[in-house]
Amino acid sequence: MRKTIKAIITSVVLLLLAGPLAAQSVSYKSGMLSVDGKEIARIVKLKAGFAQPANYELYSMSGEKLIIAVLASDLPPDPQNNTDFYYRFSFLTTSQVGLFTLSILSAEKSFAKLIGQSGIIVDDKLNEAKINEFIALKSKNPIVRTEYNIVKRNMMFPVMIKDDNMIYQGLEAIGKFKNISSGPEGDTYEFSLPDGLIVVKVSFSGGNSASKFIINTKKDSQTMAYTIAPDGFGKTIIASAGVDKNEHTILRIAKWLVNGKYM
């Protein structure tokens, strides 16, 4: 009797373990993605430029476009992984986005396998909760080093700010600034290069009397508490009155950025 009960328990446990494993049976042939022998989606390969990896679209069996997978060309390859590309998946019907890797040699099959094993397609539609889990478990978050092209100019000229929120050194526009948050607790500004690339975000309190700053740099991904003393970084000029309520502090920050080769 005991052996019979033990055998039954063992069989139940094996069935429970086998269930999820069976659901992972994924096949892909002639553009059709199947899971456990059932077709669940159609994948369309979109040709890119010469020698460029293709992009992909995934459609439900009823013909609704569900996912677009596009090569993340803005991201450099992972130096520790020379077998995969980064792809950005847009889950259209749930407005979610994730970054994933696909095999360089067989990106199409890699895409099909990844989606098939994810379980995110339920009753011919994307399941938002399962996508959240899929992104949490499988998405990538690479560390990206930003490439800077600082404007060439004569460094002997003083830093100058004009009322169009532009920062100049001599006749050359070298950057710009933008107040992104203002309140009783303080202000936060973004400083960027003329082409729009954000180089730092700076928070401070005390207006034009501020001396202590929280600086987040995009170049080297640093967040630091820094003291910039009034007039501590050379001559600065305000080109016109009323540039910004914190114009004297912005000038000091701009000079700090120039000296640090952030701008």
Domain extents in the chain:
25-138, 159-259
- The most confident of 79-83, 112-116, 148-152, 195-199, by mean pLDDT: 112-116
Look at residue 163 and tell me whether its pLDDT is greater than 70.
yes
More confident residue, 191 or 50: 191
Region 145-174: mean pLDDT is 86
Task: Report the candidate in 65, 66, 85 with the shortest Cα–Cα distance to residue 75.
Answer: 85
What pLDDT shows up at residue 234?
A: 42
What pLDDT shows up at residue 123?
A: 96
Would residue 4 be called left, alpha or beta, if left means φ above 0 and alpha means ψ between -120 and 50 degrees? Answer: alpha
Q: Largest alpha-carbon pair distance within the chain?
A: 96
> Do residues 121 and 40 touch, judged by C-beta distance below 8 A?
yes
Residue 222 forms beta bridges with which residues? Answer: 217
15 confidence band (pLDDT: 50, 70, 90): very low
Region 31-39: mean pLDDT is 96
What pLDDT shows up at residue 242?
A: 61
Look at residue 5 and tell me whether its pLDDT is greater than 80.
no
Q: Compute the distance between CA of residue 203 and CA of residue 225 in angstroms, rounded to an integer.
A: 10
Element (H, E) at 187: strand 186-192
211 confidence band (pLDDT: 50, 70, 90): confident
% of the chain surpassing 70 pLDDT? 82
Based on the number of CB atoms within 10 Å of its own CB, is 4 exposed (0-12), middle (13-18) or buried (19 or more)? exposed
What is the residue-averaged pLDDT of the chain? 83
Q: Compute the distance between CA of residue 21 and CA of residue 215 in angstroms, rounded to an integer.
A: 49
Angle of helix 107-118 relative to helix 128-138, nearest 10 degrees, comes to 120
Region 60-73: mean pLDDT is 94
Region 252-258: mean pLDDT is 92
Q: Compute the distance between CA of residue 254 and CA of residue 243 in angstroms, rounded to an integer.
A: 14
Look at residue 262 and tell me whether its pLDDT is greater than 80.
yes
Q: Which ranges of the chain would DSSP assign to H, the alpha helix?
A: 2-22, 107-118, 128-138, 247-259
What pLDDT shows up at residue 239?
A: 47
Task: Report the candidate in 66, 111, 71, 112 with the shortest Cα–Cα distance to residue 92.
Answer: 66
What pLDDT shows up at residue 40?
A: 97
